[in-house]
Amino acid sequence: MKQALFPAFILITLLFSPAFTWQAQVNEVVDGDTISLSKDGETVKLRLWGIDCPEASQEYGNGAYLFAVSFVKYGFLEIETMGTDQYGRILGIAYTNNVSLNEELIRAGWAWVYETYCDKPICDKWREIQKAAQKQKAGLWESANPVPPWEFRKNNPKKEPKETSPLSLAIIFGAASLLLLLIRLILKNGWAKKKRKWNNRWRQ
C-alpha cells in the first residue's frame, strides 16, 4: 500500500508543478536505465526517461550498467519527474551536480534516444549527442550494427515462470509418500530380521 502512495503523490504533484524535482538515495542500479531509490523510507523504481539502454542480458548491457554505477556512486540523485510507466515506475531525468545521467549515457555511447517516448525539446539536443557518439564509435557504437534494446525485447520476450499444475503436485506428493512408505517397510523388515536373529542367539 505504501509503495503505491508515493507514485500517486508524484502524479498529483506533476499536475501542479511542470518541473517537479526531488532528491533520493540510490539503493541499487538494476541496469543501465533502471535504478532503485529510497525516498522518505519508501523504495521506488526509477526508469530513466527518453533513453533506452541495452538489456542486462544483451551485448553492451554490462557496459551500460557499469557506467550508471560509476555515475551514481550509490549517493543521492536529483530526479526531474516526467511521469510513470505501465509498470508503476517513475519516469525521470536523474542528475548529480547538475549533470544528467540520461544525457551522459547517450554521450558515452551506452544508450539510444528512445524515439517512441522522447518528445520534449531536450530530445533534439540528445539526438545531436547521439550522432556525435556514433561518429566517435563510443560504447556500443563500436559495433557496425548494434541491436536496439526494443528490438532485442521483441525478439527475446521474457518467459513467465511455469506454474505447477494441481495434477503434477498430486503425482509428486503421491510418489514421495510411496517412497517414504517403502523406506519404512524396508527398515521395519530389516529390524525384524535382526530381532529374530538376536532372539535365536539368546535361545542357544
- Active-site residue numbers? 47, 55, 89
Q: Residue 145 and residue 140: Cα distance in Å, rounded?
A: 9
Distances (CA, A) of 24 to 7, 18, 67, 101: 14, 19, 19, 14
CB 90, CB 80: distance < 8 Å: no
* Rounded distance between C-alpha atoms, residue 119 and residue 50, angstroms: 8
Q: Which residues of 119-135 are buried (b: 16+ CB within 10 A; e: fewer)?
A: eeebbeebeebbeebee
